[in-house]
Amino acid sequence: MAMNYNAKDEVDGGPPCPPGGTAKTRRPDNTAFKQQRLPAWQPILTAGTVLPTFFIIGLIFIPIGIGIFVTSNNIREIEGNVFMYYGLSNFYQNHRRYVKSRDDGQLNGDPSALLNPSKECEPYRRNEDKPIAPCGAIANSMFNDTLELFQVGNASDLTPIPLKKKGIAWWTDKNVKFRNPPGTDPLEERFKGTTKPVNWVKPVYMLDSDEDNNGFINEDFIVWMRTAALPTFRKLYRLIERKNDLHPTLPAGRYYLNITYNYPVHSFDGRKRMILSTISWMGGKNPFLGIAYITIGSISFLLGVVLLVINHKYRNSSNTADITI
Amino acid sequence: MTELLQWARYHWQRPIGRTNTDDDERPYSYSSLLACGGKSSQTPRLAGKHRVVVPHLQLFKEEYEKFSGTYVNNRIRTTKYTLLNFVPRNLFEQFHRVANLYFLFLVVLNWVPLVEAFQKEITMLPLVVVLTIIAIKDGLEDYRKYKIDKQINNLVTKVYSRKEKKYVDRCWKDVTVGDFIHLSCNEVIPADMVLLFSTDPDGICHIETSGLDGESNLKQKQVVRRYAEQDSEVDPEKFSSRIECESPNNDLNRFRGFLEHSNKERVGLSKENLLLRGCTIRNTEAVMGIVVYAGHETKAMLNNSGPRYKRSKLERRANTDVLWCVLLLVVMCLTGALGHGIWLSRYENIPFFNIPEPDGHSLSPVLAGFYMFWTMIILLQVLIPISLYVSIEIVKLGQVYFIQSDVDFYNEKMGSTVQCRALNITEDLGQIQYLFSDKTGTLTENKMVFRRCSVAGFDYCHEENAKRLESYQEAASEDEDSADTPSGSLSNMAKPRALSCRTVHSRPLGSISSNHLTGSCFALESREGASEVPHSRQAAFSSPIETDVVPDTRLLDKFSQITPLLFTPTDETIPDPPLETLYIIDFFIALAICNTVVVSAPNQPRQKVGLSSLRGIPIKSLEEIKNLFQRLSVRRSSSPSLASGKEPSGVPNAFVSRLSLFNRMKPASPVEEEISQTSESLQGSDDSACPTEIEKQNSDAGIANGKVEALPGQPLTSSLCYEAESPDEAALVYAARAYQCTLQSRTPEQVVVDFAALGPLTFQLLHILPFDSVRKRMSVVVRHPLSNQVVVYTKGADSAIMELLSVASPDGPGLEKQQMMIREKTQKHLDDYAKRGLRTLCIAKRVMSDTEYAEWLRNHFLAETSIDNREELLLESAMRLENKLTLLGATGIEDRLQEGVPEAIEALHKAGIKIWMLTGDKQETAVNIAYACKLLEPNDKLFVLNTESKNACEMLMDTILKELQKNPASPEQASLSASLHQPPPTLQGSGLRAALIITGKTLEFALQESLQKQFLELTARCQAVVCCRATPLQKSEVVKLVRSHLRVMTLAIGDGANDVSMIQVADIGIGISGQEGMQAVMASDFAVSQFRHLSKLLLVHGHWCYTRLSNMILYFFYKNVAYVNLLFWYQFFCGFSGTSMTDYWVLIFFNLLFTSAPPVIYGVLEKDVSAETLMQLPELYRSGQRSEAYLPLTFWITLLDAFYQSLVCFFVPYYTYQGSDIDIFTFGNPLNTAALFVILLHLVIESKSLTWIHMLVIAGSILCYFCFALAFGAMCVTCNPPSNPYWIMQEHMADPVFYLVCVLTTCVALLPRFIYRVLQGSLFPSPILRAKHLDRLPAEERIEALKKWRGTGQMDQLTSKYADHSAVESERIPIYDPSAVFAVMSATACAVEKGNLPVCETALDSDFSETKASGMAGPSKD
């Protein structure tokens, strides 16, 4: 009987309650958890308690900031490997539909995707009834200016500076993410049945003569495919390797930059740049981070002082604040 | 009376009915009786909507199929879903929520190619997850219900089978309307059925309804009249009646219908005949009935409304803020749309990166902007927190769990703890501003102790009893056994020791022989009964303190004058004194019988002696019955009966003469009675087949017992157990027992009272008019065995009775004068009682002539059998009976305050809660209790509103208001309009407190439209309001008025059925699971066992729940805005094209996984101040009342902070990576990571206490994020285009700049809030923060600090009150517990009175009570 009552009560939604019915005691457990008496850390934020935090932050941030700042400023000196970038401004590589306009499967060498690219590539998916390889707007708009750097010698003779094409893309991109269609045939055979992107001059398998830098795994292509986050961006173009430790990679002197102009930027009011830079442990030159750290460190230190004053003034009241106010 | 009639008719018809001569008997049928009453013989017709029930038998096969086919069977299904319809139905229900619809809309939107922002399928994920979580929750709940249903449906009961011609076992679910069901003791009733047979010779059946309403006392049900006297089971095959009754409804206290026999004769059915599903048969061997409502149409199921759903204030507030978020979203999307349009229009040609449509054209900027608007909505949808609602639900479940597991709410005695019946308004507990409380049973224990009485104008103060109670209270710590001792030792002081009530306890009918007679079936039963009955009794009376009454010596002296001689014919020669004695006798008889108390023995079920013998020798032949009947009637006519009484025997009315023929009157004189009894018992032993005989035998046993036990010096253990519906009744019966007027047994037909000097008296019970709140009284109509008159005993509220007293006494002007005197004196005594906080009841009687009675009875029958307006007719009928009453006396019953009530009220007052006491009691009682429970303070200014007209009421209110304005109690209370939207202002300065007392009648005027505003303004200025004499409806109206006009949070607490409407109207209804059943609990949102638990429930749990939930909701808004804005800021750098720099999986999981658990944990476990401090400083509750944790301003500040943090989160990485070769998703990664740290650490800053659970969850969240990012980065090579996360996290983890950016971002983003909290903590700490400091202090310092805290609050009226607490204490004592002083004085008075003449006594008595009264009035009125 009692069971039935319980059952009915549960149907009611309320716990059972007949005083005489069930014999089980319903006394709740007296545990710290159930009685909400778990030991707890109770931070009390007053000037006194947080004072050290501010000083510590200040003491840590300022040196870090200075370190970063110095490192960043040292980047100018062209020592070690020099990276050659091209920069574009006002180029919205991060436009939503532009970003989507690619087929990662195709780029990964998936044979089916090669011949039947993703719909995301529209309207750069097919041309003249052939699938475009690589499809999509990103590939179609690939930067195709050629930059050459020469050192102007004493007699105005131009010594071409060796620019390394390889090693500019992420290792994982080059080796994992981007793959040519499988097979042992020559690349041209493997890309059979596809056509080049509309704006391209050459098909994808003719990007480079080096088999290891051709087709989808061409590093210029890979770098371009990693769409920039902001409308003004730079992309790594070439590497100038250091020859030996004794001389700077690019010694002071006159240099000559030869640009084969292919890429139109007027339509979007864009600008092109060429940047030469070395890289420190913290990337390219950017004073922001260092300055920011120094600033925040200083502010924190200052706040620490302010709080010290406050704490000194209100010390008596903060411990016994409960009484006076 | 009706039963008698039925009984008589039955015995008429039975012998003949068997021979199928129905037609001859028609004139005697019930309807013809009605016809000869002179009223219209129109029997009430049932409309078509009424239900017709015919037995499931061959005889009615066609009709059965016609009717019963349409009724549901007894299978119940409380589940919402089936396997098939679960998915569609659950989805349908879930999409009733606007939020879900909104998200569905977003999902659909994403399928529109032009605006799609993400991959189509992915967008569905959050919605799917949320829907799944809720669906799983619903499914599990439903499955649990399904299992329970199955279990119940498969319970087995005995149903009559047509084929096998016997009762067979069948599952509950197979029971249908029209089935005959046979139930044994302790079986549960499977469906609502009309009781046709009970093994009880009186045709009653006891049921326990605790499964239905939680009331543990047994209720009597009666067999349908015609069948009442049947001695064998009704044979279903022979059952030829049909039942018409009302359509199924959920009113447990109503059942109307009639049973129509094959001869068209109708018998009215009432709730007394209906056995309700879910109740248990008790103390009755077996019953049989016919099912009228089955399954979901039973009253129990119709009452099963399930958990209640209310929307809390906080949630309402959150909903408006969700709307603000929607607005914000629209603004942001418009910005995006506009931006995109402008951005596009800058370009003359189509740039590379703007992909043309498939047809080669480009969209116009305007159109593109329009599409972008919708894309943005999809992109920024997270701004509307989809997980908020799910999280709120989870958090509330957690809060409810913790409230229910609080060990402080556990009540050892009842084994019950707090119940949260409404799951979603926990946080409202922290915002209560007005508290409406019932008095009886809520503030008081509802354990009634008889304290004083006044009979025939003499006050009997029962000082011994008072002393005993005092000493008991002092010795409260002693255990139960020793609790008996003080009463024993005290009773030594009472001179006639032998008369101490404990010697009077007598044994019930169940003598040794009865035990012997009852079969093995009862042996089992009694064992069960032994374990259960004492328990339920314990619930009603926790100690002997309530049941033992020490008689007043003065009254006992007068008892000694009572002799049977008083009723002998010579009594007329004795002059005046006997009148008083007669009054005393009548008074105590009224106490003993004017009630509905059921007598039972604790160790065995109340059981008729002759049952088994009855079953052993079933009546078989018609001849036997005839013989029996003849013998009976012969004896009747030979004994002096009604016909030979005072009434002239030649009454022409055939009805009365028949009545006299068949009623089972006791002989007039006790001597004669005894003789006849003996002879009857002799006869009875000869032939025990007749139930009437057994009756006699029973009373014989009663006499024997009574005589044995009445012998002095032979103490017997208390073994009579009274089960009363209300504790008042029980208290009165116990009081009567103390004066040797012991209620021995009660059946529907007779009451046996063992009266000291008169021996056992058997009152023939003619009628009971039960108590109701409209009449405020109850009556019994009995035939007095000694005077042989029809006597009406009425017991009720003094206001109700005083109006009904007869002005002219039939016995002459002398008596009339005396009556007037008695009346005046009694009124004085009543006032005195009320001032002491005693509950008063008046006892009155009326002697009726048989003609009068017969006349009344006829009309009453008519009322009883009408179906449509039975209530009004019954009320009218009662009015006709209860008038021209003669006042006998009055009683004063003490209802002691519950433990801890004054402390709880004081704490709640300090917490700024305005407390109203709404009670049905009279003004004096209410005011006194209000003082006792500290609702009113001795130096409060009392304003009493007690007027008879609306105009007077208005004027009085005006005057009071003016006076209050003259004494500017508080400058804050400038006007009502100010207080409308403000929480109750705190009284400051002068410390003057005002309190308002208003009576029910005046309340009626005050609640009228024109006076409402004035009334509310008046009450707003009063610290406490006491409404006395309020009806249940008024209670709910008051709550409704305050709630809707002042727009405050209200809480109503009560324990009885009369509080239900109030409980339902208030924002939070709290039921006290106490003495008066479970109706209040059933209607409530929370149920506690004692009033004092309210303080912890509100001050601690309410405060916690409110702060927790409001902070969590704010946090949710903050979290979503802060995170989504990262996406928004990015739009400024991607041409407002709707690009997300974050992988969408991360985006989704960020909300669903990485940041969902910590706020939930925070919402459940956050503890800003410890429970101890919250209890010690109730003032802290005020922050919740003012909604300080979640003000509109707080919301906007939170949003502002969210904007700031998102700006920092975006622009620190932005400037760091500006101009570099970073790609979109690599750029997004530090943004996300920093945002995660910022959002989680923000929670840490906001948390006031962090346990290991917090730490674990936060660390887990961070770990989870990194694991996910790393795993995703390692495995997802080409998946999830275009956002290719491959190796991004790995790259970043190896890059120091990533860490530097994250650290910097986190620090800069959190700095302002951190600084703000620090400054707040040290410069302008809120009371909550200050209290938190206290928590950290060591114990001793803490006590010091608490003292200082309270001390400095001197300005505060609350604390000033506290300061002169001790000063007040001494002053208050006489009011608080006047009996101490009073007892001594009255003792001397009593001593003086001894042996004095009655006149002198009266003078002294009244004089004394007057001085006492003025003394009382002094301190309380000032």
Q: Is residue A206 part of a domain?
A: yes
Q: Poorest-confidence range of A212-216, B398-402, B1398-1402?
A: B1398-1402
Task: Indicate whether B1415 pLDDT > 80.
Answer: no
- For A293, residues 6+ apart whose C-beta sits below 8 A from its C-beta are A61, A62, A64, A65, A66, A68, A69, B1300, B1304
Is B696 marked as a binding-site residue?
no
Same domain, A293 and A210: no
Burial of B316 from C-beta contacts in 10 A (0-12 / 13-18 / 19+): exposed
Is B919 marked as a binding-site residue?
yes
Fill in the DSSP letter of residue A164.
B
Strands B286-293 and B192-198, bridge-based pairing: antiparallel
CA distance B670 to B194: 39
> For A258-275, what is the mean pLDDT?
90
Question: Does B349 sit within 8 Å of A42, measured CB to CB?
Answer: no
Fill in the DSSP letter of residue A171.
H
- What pLDDT is recorded for position B1388? 32
A304 contacts in B (CB within 8 Å)?
none
CA distance A78 to B150: 84
| DSSP states along B1130-1174 | HHTTTTT----SS-HHHHHHIIIIITTHHHHHHHHH--SS-HHHH
Contact between residue B224 and residue A37 where contact means Cβ atoms under 8 Å apart? no
Burial of A50 from C-beta contacts in 10 A (0-12 / 13-18 / 19+): buried
> Given B306, B358, B1323, which is nearest A314 (Cβ)?
B1323
**CB distance from A112 to chain B under 8 Å?**
no
Q: Is residue A148 part of a domain?
A: yes
The domain tally of chain A equals: 2
Phi–psi pair at B122, nearest 5 degrees: -65, -35
Q: Is residue A321 part of a domain?
A: no
Pick from B1130, B1145, B980, B954: which is nearest to B1047 by CA?
Answer: B980
Q: How confident is the model at residue B992 (pLDDT cuts 50, 70, 90)?
A: low
Highest mean pLDDT among A148-162, B547-561, B612-626, B955-969: A148-162
The residue of chain A nearest to residue B1170, with distances taken between CA atoms, is A37
Task: Indicate whether B859 pLDDT > 60.
Answer: yes
Phi–psi pair at B809, nearest 5 degrees: -90, 140
Q: Is residue A35 part of a domain?
A: no
The residue of chain A nearest to residue B1292, with distances taken between CA atoms, is A282
Question: Does A267 sit within 8 Å of B216, measured CB to CB?
Answer: no
Q: How confident is the model at residue B1133 (pLDDT cuts 50, 70, 90)?
A: very high
Same domain, A52 and A173: no
Task: Indicate whether A270 pLDDT > 60.
Answer: yes
CA distance B206 to B1137: 78
Q: How confident is the model at residue B1096 (pLDDT cuts 50, 70, 90)?
A: very high
Question: Does B1249 sit within 8 Å of A46, measured CB to CB?
Answer: no
Which amino acid appears at position B1099 of this protein? L
pLDDT tens sequence across B678-716: 444 444 334 433 333 434 444 444 333 333 333 333 334
> Given A41, A107, A141, which is nearest B1250 (Cβ)?
A41
- What pLDDT is recorded for position B835? 79
Same domain, A305 and A224: no
B797: distance to nearest CA of chain A, Å?
A: 31
Residue B32 or B246, more confident: B246
Question: Does A38 sit within 8 Å of B1165, measured CB to CB?
Answer: yes
Q: Is residue A242 part of a domain?
A: no
User: Which of B343, B348, B1322 to probe by mutation at the A interface, max A CB count within 10 Å?
Assistant: B1322
| Helix H or strand E encompassing A96 | helix A96-100
Fill in the DSSP letter of residue B1089.
S
Question: Does A320 sit within 8 Å of B1345, measured CB to CB?
Answer: yes
- What pLDDT is recorded for position B1075? 60
Same domain, A59 and A136: no
Question: Does A44 sit within 8 Å of B1333, measured CB to CB?
Answer: yes
Tokens at B154, concatenated:
């498969």
Phi–psi pair at B792, nearest 5 degrees: -105, 120
pLDDT tens sequence across B6-48: 444 444 443 333 333 333 333 333 333 333 333 333 333 444 4
User: Which of B1221, B1226, B1305, B1342 to probe by mutation at the A interface, max A CB count within 10 Å?
Assistant: B1221
CA distance B969 to B987: 7
Alpha-carbon Rg of chain B, whole angstroms? 38
Contact between residue B1021 and residue B985 where contact means Cβ atoms under 8 Å apart? no
Same domain, A157 and A261: yes
Q: Is residue A127 part of a domain?
A: yes
- Beta-sheet strands, E only, within B623-710: none
Q: For tokens 């707003």, name the residue.
A: B1020
Q: What rounded mean pLDDT belongs to chain B?
A: 73
**CB distance from A11 to chain B under 8 Å?**
yes
pLDDT tens sequence across B299-320: 877 766 555 567 788 888 888 8
- For B470, residues 6+ apart whose C-beta sits below 8 A from its C-beta are B1379, B1380, B1383
Q: Is residue A213 part of a domain?
A: yes
Contact between residue A318 and residue A46 where contact means Cβ atoms under 8 Å apart? yes
Contact between residue B1173 and residue B1331 where contact means Cβ atoms under 8 Å apart? yes
Count CB-CB contacts under 10 A for residue B1181: 26
**CB distance from A238 to chain B under 8 Å?**
no
Tokens at B435, concatenated:
């508290």
Residue B1384 or B868, more confident: B868
> Given A95, A102, A233, which is nearest B1281 (Cβ)?
A102
**CB distance from A219 to chain B under 8 Å?**
no
Question: Does A20 sit within 8 Å of B1224, measured CB to CB?
Answer: no
CA distance B777 to B843: 10
Percentage with pLDDT > 90 across chain A: 45
User: Which of B152, B156, B276, B355 to probe by mutation at the A interface, max A CB count within 10 Å?
Assistant: B355
Contact between residue A275 and residue A84 where contact means Cβ atoms under 8 Å apart? yes
A120 contacts in B (CB within 8 Å)?
1281-1282
Q: Which three-class secondary structure state does DSSP give residue B504?
A: coil
> For B362-381, what is the mean pLDDT?
89
CA distance B675 to B545: 40
A34 contacts in B (CB within 8 Å)?
402, 405-407
A268: distance to nearest CA of chain B, Å?
A: 6
> Given B300, B1336, B1345, which is nearest A44 (Cβ)?
B1336
CA distance B844 to A200: 114
Q: Poorest-confidence range of B175-189, B393-407, B535-549, B760-774?
A: B535-549
B1277 contacts in A (CB within 8 Å)?
104, 108, 176-177
CA distance B1077 to B863: 29
Helix axes B365-379, B313-345, angle to 10 degrees: 150
Same domain, A265 and A134: yes
A133: distance to nearest CA of chain B, Å?
A: 17
Q: How confident is the model at residue A225 (pLDDT cuts 50, 70, 90)?
A: very high
Residue length of chain B:
1422
Contact between residue B248 and residue B41 where contact means Cβ atoms under 8 Å apart? no
Question: Does B416 sit within 8 Å of A123, measured CB to CB?
Answer: no
A25: distance to nearest CA of chain B, Å?
A: 6
The residue of chain B nearest to residue A118, with distances taken between CA atoms, is B1281
Query: What's the pTM value of the predicted model, to 2 decimals?
Result: 0.73
**CB distance from A194 to chain B under 8 Å?**
no
- Please report which residue ranges of B352-439 form alpha helices under DSSP H: 365-379, 386-404
**CB distance from A145 to chain B under 8 Å?**
no
Phi–psi pair at B718, nearest 5 degrees: -65, 120
Same domain, A298 and A224: no
**CB distance from A184 to chain B under 8 Å?**
no
Same domain, A297 and A264: no
A142: distance to nearest CA of chain B, Å?
A: 10
Pick from B733, B758, B735, B757: which is nearest to B744 by CA?
Answer: B733
Same domain, A52 and A108: no
- What pLDDT is recorded for position B399? 92
B1284 contacts in A (CB within 8 Å)?
104, 177
Contact between residue B526 and residue B607 where contact means Cβ atoms under 8 Å apart? no
User: Which of B138, B147, B352, B417 to probe by mutation at the A interface, max A CB count within 10 Å?
Assistant: B352
Same domain, A219 and A192: yes
A298 contacts in B (CB within 8 Å)?
none
Same domain, A167 and A260: yes
B210 contacts in A (CB within 8 Å)?
5, 18-21
**CB distance from A57 to chain B under 8 Å?**
yes
Q: Is residue A3 part of a domain?
A: no
> Given A28, A140, A269, which is nearest B410 (Cβ)?
A28
Question: Does A322 sit within 8 Å of B1334, measured CB to CB?
Answer: yes
Is B920 marked as a binding-site residue?
yes
**CB distance from A216 to chain B under 8 Å?**
no
Integer CA distances (angstroms), B1228 to B1127, B1141, B1224, B1281, in order: 9, 5, 6, 15
pLDDT tens sequence across B1154-1183: 999 999 999 999 998 999 999 999 999 999
Same domain, A221 and A154: yes
> Given B280, B1282, B1331, which is nearest A99 (Cβ)?
B1282
The residue of chain A nearest to residue B213, with distances taken between CA atoms, is A18
Examine the residue annotation and report whether B438 is marked as an active-site residue of this protein: yes
Domain range enclosing A220: 92-231+251-271
Question: Does B1319 sit within 8 Å of A14, measured CB to CB?
Answer: no
pLDDT tens sequence across B449-491: 888 888 888 888 777 777 766 665 544 434 333 333 333 333 3
Q: Poorest-confidence range of B265-269, B286-290, B539-543, B1090-1094?
A: B539-543
> Given B152, B300, B1221, which is nearest A85 (Cβ)?
B1221
Instruction: Determine the Cα angle at B1167 with ends B1164 and B1173, to 5°.
Output: 140
